[in-house]
Amino acid sequence: MENGAVYSPTTEEDPGPARGPRSGIAAYFFLDRLPGPRRVLKGLQLLLSLLAFICEEVVSQCTLCGGLYFFEFVSCSAFLLSLLILIVYCTPFYERVDTTKVKSSDFYITLGTGCVFLLASIIFVSTHDRTSAEIAAIVFGFLASFMFLLDFAIMLYEKRQESQLRKPENTTRAEALTEPLNA
């Protein structure tokens, strides 16, 4: 027998470089782990914090540089943290880590980043030299901080809804424990 006759029914032809709708690096990204509105908010957080950082980096001179430096640190940190959270949600790494820890980390990172970004934007407003790059950075900074805080508010609302759904279970368990066994 020829080798072709033996192996032809069990082997597959070379499928080529693309195999199906998702191939290559795109096969490792899953955008459906976040609901639509939160996905948009995460994208806006990433984009606006990057734009705030870029506009701040364009500033060539400053009179009171403390606010500028603090804003620079916060906007860069916000960009990197939002990128990290987005990568965790959209890659197989999400399945390797405890999902409750990812959601909890996202909850507190989003709250902290939103508050500190808002504070940095307020400080930068009070110390800027009124150049167009600084004004653009401030606008993007405020918008980014509002996106972080809106995302936090949505997560807080979802947590409250989740705890409301669990409360009836706890009350029925308590009632079941107080009922006599022979009733």
Q: Could you read off the pLDDT of 37-74 as tens digits, one per residue?
A: 899 999 999 999 999 999 999 998 988 899 999 999 99
Cα–chain center distance at 146: 14
The residue type found at 27 is A
DSSP-derived letter for residue 9 is: T
Calculated CA dihedral for residues 164, 166, 172, 177, nearest 10 degrees:
-130
Q: Could you read off the pLDDT of 4-20 as tens digits, one per residue?
A: 555 555 555 655 555 55
